Amino acid sequence: NAGVMQNPRHLVRRRGQEARLRCSPVKGHSHVYWYRQLPEEGLKFMVYLQKENIIDESGMPKERFSAEFPKEGPSILRIQQVVRGDSAAYFCASSPKTGGDTEAFFGQGTRLTVV
Amino acid sequence: GENVGLHLPTLSVQEGDNSIINCAYSNSASDYFIWYKQESGKGPQFIIDIRSNMDKRQGQRVTVLLNKTVKHLSLQIAATQPGDSAVYFCAENPRDSSYKLIFGSGTRLLVRP
């Protein structure tokens, strides 16, 4: 019973390059959430997706960031033209349904370092 | 790991003692609260949750208390063990966006052997 799988675990990119972060939710979960965590801070909501649909992207920067959750395959968080301020840990979570008191399961995260 | 830093509030306890970690939440409309444990280099791990119609909920060695009057949440860990060392976050689930978790800033728990 695999949990949420994220890859890569660590990603180093030079300024201006693109970063692609992948998240495979728990089998059977159709709701995916991305969060960002800066050092010494709590996680901050970025985006909520269901299969093929973005439900809420209010926490995601308007430029350079995009997310998708295709019908087949993992959810992808894409950061174009990365800058040093994008360095953070990015966590994906999934749940079988949404709504209050629905437990979301988190992956181990992708630690992005922009040099 | 990225959660070990100089600026996180830190609670240091002796192994075997009880620990109390506190959290103030922001949204009086939140009706579901969760405590997460995050070990260095790992993702948040669910510990215990509580709905707003409850004041207290107990799990194995952990108890969560909710005071809605002052918007305060606490996590009590009984007989703290070295494996409890981690950063602990409270999270709230607003009623108007029930899929979203709003995390607090975290407390680092250090257990002295």
CA distance A95 to B92: 16
Residue reference for tokens 């109390």: B20
- pLDDT per residue as tens digits for the range B34-80: 999 999 999 999 999 999 999 999 999 999 999 999 999 999 999 99
Residue reference for tokens 């707003």: B52
CA distance A19 to A56: 21
Q: What is the pLDDT of residue B1?
A: 35
The shortest CB-CB distance from B105 to any of A42, A45, A108 is to: A42
Residue A67 Cα distances to A8, A34, B44, angstroms: 16, 9, 21
Q: Does the pLDDT value for residue B86 go beyond 50?
A: yes
Residues 6+ apart with CB under 8 A from A60: A34, A46, A47, A66, A67
Average pLDDT, chain B: 90
Q: Does the pLDDT value for residue A51 go beyond 90?
A: no
Instruction: Tell me how close the Cα of A91 comes to any Cα of chain B, in angstroms.
Output: 7
CB contact under 8 A, A40 and B32: no
Q: What is the pLDDT of residue A63?
A: 95
Burial A16-48 (b: 16+ CB within 10 A, else e): eeebebbbbbbeebbbbbbbbbeebbbbbbbbb
Q: Which residue has the higher pLDDT, A34 or B31?
A: A34
Confidence of residue B3 (pLDDT cuts 50, 70, 90): very low
